[in-house]
Structure 1
Amino acid sequence: MTLKRGNGILKGSNGFANRSEKIDNQVNTRFAIASGCKIYTAVAICMLVENGKLSFDSKLKDRLDTAFPYFDNNITIHHLLTHTSGVYDYFNEELMSDFELLWKSHPMYHVRSPKDFLPMFQYEKMQASINSHFEYNNTGYILLGLIIEHVAKCDFAAFVEENIFRKAGMMDSGYFEADRLPERTALGYIEDPKGSWKTNIYSLPAKGTPDGGAYTTVEDRSKFWEALMGNQLLSKEMTQMLLKPRVAVAAEDDIYYGYGGYMELNADKEVVKYIQMGYDPGANFREVYYPDTGTVIIVCSNEEEGAYELLKEIESIL
């Protein structure tokens, strides 16, 4: 956990990075942050737009050589970024709760790049009409990663590591492979109904991809926000495009989604805070950034629960 407000930084850690060896989590431990790294994919897309290689109106069918016979031909980058494309989600969290079921026919040790997901959705029909409403969609971000690779002519993970992590000074972050984890990396743990624990090595793809799975430290994540809000990754205008409210997540509240994640708005439709989250078996991540004060609260966990509760407790104290 880390809390940064102005020049003040509060850090803390607890629990085990490795339960078998009784190795404690530290403030510099690397954690998997699941969908908390979708914002990296969005920033990478914005970089390509800024360089004139894409536009937010670019159509999926025009940016990939891969055929998707049942996808709407009018799907754009904008739709994919805002979860309004309606494409079939290979892991629909409203319909499926056990992530491990995905790997029965597609072994997780073979999934190490965006293209490895294609058999899981390429020939599926649309699950909703294009641009109808916000519906969280992992497939959309896999498609964005494929577009990045095709346009930049570069491996997705390598592009993000070079153009985002290195530029922001995030030297402890990366898309590490589960069977080649570097030092100071927390193993993810899943608790079974009897109260015992197992690692998540058979529950997730072998390597993180555009919809989730990068590793980072709380300090590196703080550096990311400093670089992003300091316009070191994108121009001021493009950073504003990334963080602008785009679609309402639910009609009854003030939560919106932009190109780079969730945000809470006040009655005047101004952003109160930006919200990032990630959930995987053995990984739990929550983060908020308050633009008015520059306060960022980051909570990483290598268990399935706890990050949200700790973040809310910190917010209530503040």
Structure 2
Amino acid sequence: MIPAFFSPRSAPAWMACLLVFLFALPLASPARADGTGLEAQATRFWQTVSAKPADRPALLALHFSAGVRERNGDADLLETFAMLAEALGPELASLSPSAVIKGAEGDELHYTLANGQRVSLMLVLSADDPPKIERFGVRPLPPEVAAVAPAALPAAIASHLEAEFKAGRFTGTVLVGRGDDTLYAGAFGLADRRSGRPNTLDTPFNLGSINKMFTGIAIAQLQAAGKLDWTDTVGRHLPDFPNAQIRDRVTLHQLLTHTSGVGSYWNQAHTDRRHELDSQQEFLETFVDQPLLFEPGQGMEYSNGGPVILGLVIEAISGKNYYDYVRDAIYRPAGMTHADHYRRDDAAAGFALGYLMGEDGAWRDNTDELSARGSAAGGGYASARDLQAFARAMADGRLLSQAQWEVLWKAHAPQGRGMDYGYLFSSGTVAGQRWVGHNGGAPGISAEFRYYPADDLVIVVLANQDNASMAVGEWLNALVLTSLAGTPPPPSKD
């Protein structure tokens, strides 16, 4: 079983600060090494992650228990390591922890990377002699930032982002809004490196899995209209669904919370057909014959297949194509004028091309990596200003009532350590403030959206460069929340 919130190639190495590589198994009482031994095991973990791809299989066999390998499979573990290496950089083998935290679920080591990004590694060791890595988790930690006066926030943000851009770590757009006010907005780098077209605040960026939120909203709108119930099975709305296990046993609630056992479409069938995939039905065909990963409701694994099925439910109930429904019922009412599920060959759309670095160290655009169009699981586009408009629509009830929003944001699938998942929404806390939102990514795609309901605060980071939004987003959220602490939110317009 792949770790919760992780799906190879479907998301960046972090899911809105919720991506936790914790492998689900009952907590036993595994033998633990002392602090020195734990740190040695952590070093072996990072050495495995940062090793050359050809060297990783031998290190996996040497340092990881038979149990973790049997539960998850070597291929998925190796892909997890590759994603971590890509996201966190080349210095991992020499990391030293700044702190070791003892906990009931396992021991946690904290690290600070060269770019100031902080991460936690949680390890549970096996009862082998010598012990091996039985379970592990990696999660981002809030950066250690000093608060600035609210009036100084725009200059502090601009200075940091300019430094990240000049260092080659960020191209894209950033927006911070509170109520109707824009506290900061900036664009960096090029949307098209060949033509020299710049990124702007109105440039649509591929959102990756941020689009899952809009699929969740569409389902909530249909529920509010009395056309479905959260506990409905798939078969109630798709009676001819070709997989009987999913049709008869999986509920909408489970699809919305990644607890259905439905996997993802990142497979050979998707790879072979990706340039022609242009509908929810075509995406479904790439994975519908796969067996469930676990009994419905008995586990949790981040899924791109689940939202595709929800997209088909939306089409069956509304009578509209999924793309048209989201455009007509969400994007346009929210004032998201540049948002849409653009086709990969739509030259007139003006979206930012994504860029990823090849093995030769050169940047190339990600056009070949994309399907013909995104799915209900992700791959639509929106600009920074579009997502600010979306936050305003959340605040003023244009799309759903406040009670309905709270149903989407509720911790239907608690993850522990202040990290939760609702109905295709992530949630967490920064500086004691609850946020809701999502992030997304794939090759050349990296995006973060967080909304803080109590503060009516939105923070958007959209990047057209591999893994570029994570460190910027973590730093930005920490700075803004710390600096605005104690300042009253904008007056309610109710």
TM-score by length of 1: 0.91
Tell me if structure 2 keeps the 8 A contact 1:173–1:220: yes
Shift of 1:308: 1.2
Q: What is the distance in 2 between the residues matched to 1:233 and 1:111?
A: 29
Larger radius of gyration: 2
Of all paired residues, the percent bearing the same amino acid is: 28
* Counterpart in the other structure of 1:3: 176
Supply the AA of the counterpart residue of 1:88. Answer: G
User: 3-state DSSP class of the match of 2:214?
Assistant: helix
Partner of residue 245 from structure 1, selected from 389, 396, 411:
411
Matches within 5 A, 1:1-318: 1-6=174-179, 7-64=181-238, 65-71=240-246, 73-91=248-266, 103-105=270-272, 107-249=273-415, 251=416, 253-264=417-428, 272-318=434-480
Supply the AA of the counterpart residue of 1:158. Answer: D
Shift of 1:120: 1.6
Q: What is the distance in 1 between the residues matched to 2:218 and 2:387?
A: 16
Shift of 1:72: 6.8
Shift of 1:119: 2.3
Shift of 1:103: 4.1
1:208-247 per-position Cα deviation (integer Å, ceiling 9, x unaligned): 1100011100011011111122211012221221121211
TM-score by length of 2: 0.59
Q: What is the distance in 1 between the residues matched to 2:177 and 2:213?
A: 20
Range that drifts further, 184-193 or 34-43: 184-193
Shift of 1:288: 1.5
Q: What is the distance in 2 between the residues matched to 1:4 and 1:286?
A: 14
Q: Whose relative contact order is higher, 1 or 2, with alpha carbons under 8 Å and at least 6 apart?
A: 1
* Residue-pair matches, total: 305
Shift of 1:134: 2.4
Tell me if structure 2 keeps the 8 A contact 1:276–1:287: yes
1:59-85 per-position Cα deviation (integer Å, ceiling 9, x unaligned): 112211222134372211100001100
Q: What is the distance in 1 between the residues matched to 2:409 and 2:351?
A: 30
Tell me if structure 2 keeps the 8 A contact 1:89–1:127: no
Give the aligned CA root-mean-square deviation in angstroms: 1.9
Tell me if structure 2 keeps the 8 A contact 1:28–1:184: no
Supply the AA of the counterpart residue of 2:414. Answer: A
Q: Which has the higher helix share?
A: 2
User: 3-state DSSP class of the match of 2:369?
Assistant: coil
Tell me if structure 2 keeps the 8 A contact 1:108–1:202: no
Q: What is the distance in 1 between the residues matched to 2:227 and 2:472?
A: 41
The 3 A distance-change label for structure 1 pair 183 and 111 is: closer
Supply the AA of the counterpart residue of 1:234. Answer: L
Tell me if structure 2 keeps the 8 A contact 1:278–1:285: yes
* Counterpart in the other structure of 2:135: none
Structure 1: gaps (5+ residues): 92-98
Supply the AA of the counterpart residue of 2:421. Answer: Y
Shift of 1:266: 8.7
